[in-house]
Amino acid sequence: MAWWALGTTGENAPLLLPAFVRASGIRVDLQAVPWTGAHEKLLTGFAGDSLPDVMMLNTGWLPEMALLGALASPPPALLADQLPGARAAVTLRGQPLAVPWTADSWVQFYRRDLIAAAGYAAPPLDWTEWTRMAQAIIRGHARFATLHLLDWPEPLFAYAAQAGEPLLRDRDARGNFRSAGFRAALAFYKQGFDLGLTPKVTGAEAGDTYIGLRRGWFAILPSDAVFLGDARRAEHGIAAGSWGAAATPGPQGAGPMWARGTCLAVSRTARDPAAAWALVSFLAGAPLQARLYGITGDLPTRPSAWNALPGDPATRLFGKAIAGSVPIPAVPEWERIMGEVQLVAEAMVRGAYSVDAAATEMDARVDRILAKRRWLLDRGRLA
C-alpha cells in the first residue's frame, strides 16, 4: 500500500508507521513529498492513474480533487470527535471527502527582546498600533519589523481574513477583491513595504528565515504551527524563552482566521480500500495526533487529542484561533486564485499598481479563472 505524506510531516512519517505495521501486518510504501510541487504531483498522479492508496492533502485542494472524482468517501466513524472547523474543511456540499488530520492557523512569532526594546510587551493586535510598534522597532536600527516574503500569499490572506468580507461573490463565481474590507487589508499589506517595515524579497532571496530571526534581521516571523516543532530542534538555534506568539492583527483587533490544515484521503482506485482506511484510522486517531504534535508541532483536529497537549501560551493561542476559524472558499480553482492574487500583490509592492488598481486587476484575473464556473452555474450544471 502506498502513502504520500507532505513536508516536515512526511519527513518524520517513518517514525509513525512501525506500530501500525506490527499491529496490522500491512506494509506501507511511504513517499515523502516536499510541499513545493506537491499539488502538481497529485494532479499528474491522477492524470497518469498513479495516485497512491492514501494521500495527505492540504484541505484547500479537496474541491479540486472532488471535481476530478479522485477520492473515496470516508467511513462516518472516522469523522467523529473532530473540531467543527476541521470537519467543515473536509466537507463539500454536505459530503465528507477526507478525514481531518492536522489543524493550523497563522500567527506572529516574535523576539521578546526586540519587541521589549521598542516599548511593547507583545505585538499589538490592531493595525494602527501595530504600525507604531513596527516603526519603533526599525527606528535607528538596521533591521526590519517583520518578514512578508513576496512569494508567500499567507500574510496578505491572513490580513484579508481579519477584514471579515468574503473573497468571492455571486455564488463564488466572481472575485470580491474590490470590497472595502479587502482593499483595507491590501493597503495595510502594502504599507509594510512602503514604510520599510519588511524587506522586498522572495523566499529564495531571504534564505533561512530562522537564521534571520535569530540574528535580529527582523523581529517578527509570521508563520504557522511548524514553528512550534522547529523551535524545539537544536539545529535552528532558537533559544527557549526567547520568543513569544501573538495573533494576527486586524483593523480593530484580531478576528477569525481562514481554516487551515491537512487531511488524509483514500484514492477511489485504491487497490485495497480496507487496508487504506485502516492506515487512515490509525494515523488520524487521537493518540497518534498527540504524538505527531510532539514530533513536528502539527496540531490535532480531535478535541480528545488536544487534552493531551501541553498548556503553553503558544499552543493555547493556536487552539483559540483554530476553534474560531472559518472555511476558505470551496472552489476547485482556489489554488490558482491565491497564486494570481499574490502575483498582483507583488507587482503592486514593486510599484506597478496602486491599491485600487491592484484590487481591480485581482478581480479581473479571478473572474477569468472562474469563467467556466459561471458557465456551469448559468446552465444549472453546478449546484
Spatial distance between the Cα atoms of 290 and 295, rounded to a whole number of angstroms: 9
Q: In what order do the strands lie in the sheet with 99-104?
A: 29-33, 2-6, 54-58, 260-266, 99-104, 299-300
pLDDT at 171: 94
User: How many Å is the Cα radius of gyration of the chain?
Assistant: 21
pLDDT at 230: 87
Return the closest-CA partner of residue 317 out of 262, 247, 243: 247
Do the Cβ atoms of 106 and 322 come closer than 8 Å? no
Residues of the chain under the 70 pLDDT cut = 383
The CATH superfamily label for domain 2-104+259-323 reads: Periplasmic binding protein-like II (3.40.190.10)
Do the Cβ atoms of 9 and 34 come closer than 8 Å? no
107-247: CATH number: 3.40.190.10
Spatial distance between the Cα atoms of 142 and 186, rounded to a whole number of angstroms: 26
Q: What residue ranges of the chain are covered by domains with CATH 3.40.190.10?
A: 2-104+259-323, 107-247
Do the Cβ atoms of 133 and 143 come closer than 8 Å? no
pLDDT at 94: 87
pLDDT at 207: 92
Encoded amino acid at 30, one letter: L
How do strand 260-266 and strand 243-247 relate by DSSP bridges? unpaired
What's the pTM value of the predicted model, to 2 decimals? 0.90
Do the Cβ atoms of 86 and 259 come closer than 8 Å? yes
Return the closest-CA partner of residue 257 out of 336, 164, 347: 164
Instruction: Report DSSP letters for 197-238, one per residue.
Output: SS----HHHH--HHHHHHTTSEEEEEE-THHHHHTT-GGG--
Spatial distance between the Cα atoms of 320 and 64, rounded to a whole number of angstroms: 29
pLDDT at 383: 66
What is the 3-state secondary structure of 258-305? ECEEEEEEEECCCCCHHHHHHHHHHHCCHHHHHHHHHHHCCEECCHHH
pLDDT at 327: 84
The three cell numbers locating residue 289: 495526533
Do the Cβ atoms of 366 and 175 come closer than 8 Å? yes
